[in-house]
Structure 1
Amino acid sequence: MSNSFAELGDALTERVSELKRLTLLRLEDGAKDLFTKDLSGLEASVRALEAHVATLKSCIQTELSAMPKVEALIEASRIQSEHLSAIASNLPQRLPSRAPAGAGPGLAAGSSVAGAIGPGRGLCGGGGQAAGAGPGGGAEEAARRKREAPRWYVTREEFDGLQAYMRGRLQADKLNAAVEELAGHAAANQRLVAGAKAGGGKVAPADRKRATELYHSVATKDGIKGHFWFLESDLREGVAIKPDKTGKSMLTILRHLGRIQEVRCNIDGASTTVYVLQEGSCR
């Protein structure tokens, strides 16, 4: 009997303890509403976070799908950069401008390389025949070049091979700019002579006297006839080369390199120097 009462007491004690624990979990109605609101807010935050995560996943997937295009663009840019570097390393020191038929000295429309440049070769314009041209195309090219003033530019190798006292403070690009301008002077004189030869109808009234003098006193002389040339007085109108100490140094270098040749002529009884442009050999 004592054992049964002891077991019954233990059971009652355990039950009371359990009821105490359940009592601690008891909540009032007001507290329940607060907890319900907190749980609803927490659920809304979790759902919003899930939506943000889904958006991030979508953006990441879009970026990953674009990666092959980006890699292809980077590779194309690298190849183009290599091509441009190769082109830049093979460009001449100065890209000449080709003046149109009606433009005056120093004026140019567009920019084009007048010939090929290589070690020991001049950059030529208005002289020689284009390489690789066919029989018909070669004749047309030769006829076109014959109507243009030759532009035999100075290469870097030729300029570096000059004596230091001849170069002075000159630069190759400035020297080639002078070649371009001198060709413009020669082309202008050629137009005046052609106009005087045709009767002077196409020459401006202010230039007819000068055109006639050039035609009779210069253009028909030996060593000048059939060539492009300019006068020493033409340098007064220049920009890249003028009749000063620097301009004379440029003329000396160009004469030394075979770009020009001097011929003495008399115009109205006064002796003057005529510079004949030489045509380079583009091989």
Structure 2
Amino acid sequence: MDMKQAGSSLDSLISSFNTRIAELQELVIARNMYPASSVTDLKAVDAALKAMELQVQAIKDRLREETLAIPKAKKLIEASLRQQKKLQSMSVHVPERTTFSNSEINNRSILPEASNQLPSFGPLKPEEPVATHKEKKGRSPPPLWYITAAELDSLSSYMRGRLTLDKVNAAINDMAAYADSNFQLITAPKKKLAENLWEKALFPRELLHDKELRDIAMTESIKGKHFFLETDIKGPSLKLDNTGKAILTVLRHLGRISETRIGHHRVIILSKPQT
């Protein structure tokens, strides 16, 4: 049914309603001996009829809008079909794999950067023995056993003094760095380092020969533990001043460090806190 047919059908429907209302009006007037009293009823019927006419008009407007939208929808469908055919023809000529996954892209971008950052200590020798599981386990970085606010508050006021949690934990970071530096010197053979790098590594301890440091590491009380010497304490957070000595006293009391003397050196060992 096209628009004209729908409109003519609605017009005929409205015309039949009008005819029916007119007949009802005539019947009411004929039956009522007092026509003046039937005016209210007729007004109500007339209002209902007008409301129906408005609804019918709204339906006609909606049908007109839908009819006008049909050609636009057809054009959109045709354009979509043409685009689909183009994409299908393009997919036939595209190679099977032209893109990389996210993990491959990350690996390709990370590997060159990592290779540029590696120190150039000479070519690697394939005949070097691979480290065993025990060696890898022993080469773990120095632990960072920070103290908590509750531990600091548990100390007496004269021992705590003006120390803060941040100062003490910053000193723990320094101690771990000292221990790691000693560990690197002990485990790295001198012949595998360039001569200038070895001299720079030994610069902070001119008076301590590498053999002497190795001997300290091999003693029974030190072997297998992370340690540093009192002469290593040079900041930035931990220094051999009154504050630094107070921090060492607090950490010794809380079980984070222990001390021993080997020869003329005061050795400070990183200890695991007792739970």
TM-score (norm 2): 0.45
Q: Which has the higher contact order (CA 8 A, sep 6+)?
A: 1
- Structure having the larger proportion of residues in helix: 2
TM-score (norm 1): 0.44
